């Protein structure tokens, strides 16, 4: 696994919170379904992360795992196109977390924005634990153990990818300077042949002296094409052009995902904590009941009162589910009092129920066959462990822990 190839690998995970809702579907799962056809994707259940805040009551974790994975499968995450697994079944995550903790300054963890935010929000819990302080480092280990080059995150999670980049950079700086690094790198350049060696040196100079990012990308592509150098030499040359050492842990890049614009039933962000959600696999009658009782524009007290769609949570859902003609019908009818709130909600109910129909059908196959779900996760675990073991072998060797 070279640092160049890592740009084709994606890593993402979710805490097991049980059955998911439409906010998860539009904010995360639809993106996963798209990515699995464009990259090599690893999707994992972050059950250890669930313990960082719910260590005192883990009783619901197991059932939540199965419910959530069935939702993934129902949404179209395909085990034939991606690797799905449970975090705690790949112990290499924990080993890399431990090894990275040896080099990670305490202040790096304490400055993570979500550290103090969550302590404030969850004041009723005792979060003065190493597990809670160290969860960003465990997240870093989750990413780096697969040498994933891309991590799909929302804007509020970019800081977690940034600390991962800093930890990878620090690790490579400390352990990538193998004895005779420059001599080995220069020897690897010669192996590329005169023409490619000259081009590499030219690109290296442009990047190091002028900061030319295009030269860096061209050099990466050049190295990826080389057939007559070893994987180790390729990693040396990748680090050499950046003025560092051998790249053992590639720095990941955040893959920004559009924020889900689907509001909850009350207009706030859809969340189980707010009890304003529609489940990913909600029964049609329940969908209808929830949408019919949604809050609407408070100015429309009577059927004959004109309304303002922008002040109504129902309009927020129409922007996701309705076509241009229906949206125009809503805008005109609401403002003129030509339609009532129940009239406005009817096409929305139909659209949500229709969207969920194939999800219900796919889920039935897995709900009726739990062994199939277990086998998917078992197969995913084996594939994930193979990739993680490769990384740990190099990390152990770099840290002097490779024994005969």
Q: Which tens digits make up the pLDDT trace of 384-399?
A: 999 999 999 999 999 9
Which residues does the annotation place in the binding site for ATP?
15-17, 23-24, 154-156, 262, 269-273
Say whether both 59 and 10 belong to one domain: yes
Mean predicted confidence (pLDDT) in 197-218: 88
Which residues does the annotation place in the binding site for L-tryptophan?
142
Say whether both 169 and 184 belong to one domain: no
Say whether both 28 and 101 belong to one domain: yes
Mean predicted confidence (pLDDT) in 348-352: 97
The whole-angstrom distance between residue 117's C-alpha and the CA centroid of its chain comes to: 21
- Per-residue pLDDT reduced to its tens digit, 218-255: 998 999 898 888 888 888 888 888 777 778 999 999 99
Q: What CATH number should be reported for the domain holding residue 169?
A: 3.40.50.620
Beta strands in 7-73 (DSSP E): 9-14, 40-45
In this model, does residue 146 exceed pLDDT 90? Answer: yes
Query: In this structure, is residue 247 part of a structural domain?
Result: no
- Per-residue pLDDT reduced to its tens digit, 274-307: 899 999 999 999 999 999 999 898 888 888 888 8
- Per-residue pLDDT reduced to its tens digit, 38-81: 999 999 999 999 998 888 889 999 999 999 999 999 999 999 99
Query: In this structure, is residue 379 part of a structural domain?
Result: yes
- Using CA atoms, how far apart are residues 244 and 169, in angstroms rounded to an integer? 9
Residue holding tokens 């339609």? 339
At 1 the three-state DSSP class reads coil
Contact 334, 27 (CB under 8 A): no
> What is the total count of domains within the chain?
3
Say whether both 317 and 299 belong to one domain: yes
Query: In this structure, is residue 14 part of a structural domain?
Result: yes
pLDDT number for residue 2: 54
pLDDT number for residue 101: 97
pLDDT band at 261 (very low <50, low <70, confident <90, very high): confident
Say whether both 85 and 133 belong to one domain: yes
pLDDT band at 121 (very low <50, low <70, confident <90, very high): low
Structure tokens that stand for 65 in this block: 């795992």
Q: What CATH number should be reported for the domain holding residue 330?
A: 1.10.240.10
State residue 42 phi and psi, 5-degree precision: -115, 120
Query: In this structure, is residue 390 part of a structural domain?
Result: yes
Contact 342, 291 (CB under 8 A): no
Which residues does the annotation place in the binding site?
15-17, 23-24, 142, 154-156, 262, 269-273
Measuring CA to CA, which residue among 123, 117, 49 is closest to residue 86?
Answer: 49
State residue 246 phi and psi, 5-degree precision: -65, 135
Residue holding tokens 């096409």? 347
Kindly state the helix (H) or strand (E) to which residue 292 belongs, with its residue range: helix 284-292
The DSSP call for residue 38 is T
Query: In this structure, is residue 295 part of a structural domain?
Result: yes
Contact 90, 385 (CB under 8 A): yes
Say whether both 54 and 140 belong to one domain: yes
Query: In this structure, is residue 19 part of a structural domain?
Result: yes
Say whether both 17 and 58 belong to one domain: yes
Say whether both 87 and 166 belong to one domain: yes
Say whether both 346 and 374 belong to one domain: no
Say whether both 190 and 144 belong to one domain: no
Residue 88 Cα distances to 45, 142, 172, angstroms: 9, 11, 26
Structure tokens that stand for 206 in this block: 């442009």
Say whether both 110 and 188 belong to one domain: no
Say whether both 168 and 232 belong to one domain: no
Beta-bridge partner residues of 208:
none
Domain extent at residue 74: 6-175+256-261+370-399
- pLDDT over 90, % of the chain: 65
Query: In this structure, is residue 276 part of a structural domain?
Result: no
Contact 381, 86 (CB under 8 A): yes
Query: In this structure, is residue 290 part of a structural domain?
Result: yes
Q: What is the dihedral of CA 374, 379, 384, 387, to 10 degrees?
A: 170
Burial class of residue 140 in the structure, from the number of CB atoms within 10 Å of its CB (0-12 exposed, 13-18 middle, 19+ buried): buried
């Amino acid at each position: 696994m070279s640092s160049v190839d890592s740009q084709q690998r994606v890593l993402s995970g979710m805490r097991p919170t049980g059955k998911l809702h439409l906010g998860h579907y539009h904010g995360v799962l639809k993106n996963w379904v798209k990515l699995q056809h464009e990259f090599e994707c690893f999707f994992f259940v972050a059950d250890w992360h669930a313990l960082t805040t719910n260590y005192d009551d883990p009783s619901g974790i197991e059932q939540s795992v199965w419910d959530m994975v069935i939702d993934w499968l129902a949404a179209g995450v395909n085990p034939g196109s991606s690797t799905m697994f449970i975090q705690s079944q790949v112990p290499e995550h924990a080993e890399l977390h431990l090894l990275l903790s040896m080099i990670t300054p305490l202040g790096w963890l304490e400055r993570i924005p979500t550290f103090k935010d969550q302590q404030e929000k969850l004041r009723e819990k005792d979060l003065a634990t190493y597990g809670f302080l160290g969860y960003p480092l465990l997240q870093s280990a989750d990413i780096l153990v697969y040498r994933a080059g891309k991590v799909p995150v929302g804007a509020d999670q970019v800081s977690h990818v940034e600390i991962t980049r800093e930890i990878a950079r620090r690790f490579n700086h400390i352990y990538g300077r193998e004895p005779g690094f420059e001599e080995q790198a220069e020897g690897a350049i010669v192996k590329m042949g005169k023409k490619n060696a000259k081009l590499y040196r030219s690109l290296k100079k442009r990047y190091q002296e002028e900061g030319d990012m295009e030269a860096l990308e061209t050099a990466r592509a050049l190295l990826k094409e080389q057939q007559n150098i070893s994987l180790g030499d390729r990693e040396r040359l990748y680090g050499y052009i950046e003025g560092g050492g051998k790249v053992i842990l590639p720095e990941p890049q955040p893959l920004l995902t559009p924020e889900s614009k689907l509001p909850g039933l009350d207009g706030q962000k859809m969340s189980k904590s707010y009890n304003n959600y529609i489940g990913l696999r909600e029964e049609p009658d329940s969908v209808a009941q929830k949408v019919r009782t949604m809050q609407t524009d408070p100015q429309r007290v009577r059927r004959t009162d004109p309304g303002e769609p922008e002040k109504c949570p129902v309009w927020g859902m129409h922007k996701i589910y309705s076509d241009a003609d229906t949206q125009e019908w809503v805008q005109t009818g609401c403002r003129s009092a030509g339609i009532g709130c129940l009239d406005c909600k009817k096409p929305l109910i139909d659209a949500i129920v229709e969207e969920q129909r194939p999800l219900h059908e796919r889920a039935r196959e897995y709900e009726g066959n739990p062994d199939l779900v277990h086998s998917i996760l078992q197969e995913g675990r084996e594939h994930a462990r193979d990739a993680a073991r490769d990384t740990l072998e190099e990390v152990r060797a770099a840290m002097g822990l490779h024994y005969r």
